[in-house]
Structure 1
């Protein structure tokens, strides 16, 4: 059961970060107003580490690593990230995206749902 209280979006962005004051670059792959999922293969991460993420030209946000598994971890933000920033960073497929055949997967290999196009009000199938 998912206990999240805020909407998650899929992102794929490399950011500058400081983990317990050590500079590094990490990938953010999942984002919400309350936290994010990160990949940091070369960083020596430990649950409880303090994290500062720099989303270029948007915001710097701090938090703590709350879980970790094989170089992938979850960060809980100290303060909520503004929903507009979350939406701005969210994945938006380009024109080449074919939603009938394409499938996205998260870092654990689980398929992500493809949003359905909005239906016109009053239309029947």
Structure 2
């Protein structure tokens, strides 16, 4: 099992994911300062592909697909996010869904 450097927020937020040829609704499963995991459903993605994530509470976040497995994708941000931005996403998630989770994975 891979060791994680930073904590990740388990969020379950609905968002939009865009590539140069498509935009689809996806679920953000978790997010950290370096990237995030999505459940992409039918969206066609490949490793190395550039994407933009749009969550209602933030402007578009650029990233690159680094892994794909069983309908999930790992995305690395173009630039690491600041922890206050992750906190903002968690507050948004709590306000919208009543969820409040911050999980540190070892």
TM-score normalised by length of structure 1: 0.67
Counterpart in 2 of 1:2?
3
CA 59–83 in structure 1, closer or farther in 2 if over 3 Å, else same: farther
What count of residue pairs does the alignment treat as equivalent?
A: 98
User: Which of 1 and 2 has greater Rg?
Assistant: 1
Q: Helix, strand or coil for the counterpart of 1:66?
A: strand
Native 8 Å contact 1:45 1:71 kept in 2: no
Bigger RCO (CA 8 Å, 6+ sep): 2
Counterpart in 1 of 2:76?
76
Which whole-Å CA distance do the structure 1 matches of 2:38 and 2:58 have between them? 18
TM-score normalised by length of structure 2: 0.77
Unaligned runs of 5+ in 1: 96-103, 105-111, 114-125
For the aligned residues, what is the CA RMSD?
2.6
Which whole-Å CA distance do the structure 2 matches of 1:50 and 1:20 have between them? 8
Please state if 1:34 is matched with 2:34. yes
Q: Which runs of 4+ in 1 moved over 4 A?
A: 91-95
Q: CA deviation at 1:84?
A: 1.4
Which whole-Å CA distance do the structure 1 matches of 2:19 and 2:71 have between them? 13
Which whole-Å CA distance do the structure 2 matches of 1:94 and 1:43 have between them? 27
Which whole-Å CA distance do the structure 2 matches of 1:94 and 1:54 have between them? 20
Native 8 Å contact 1:61 1:81 kept in 2: no
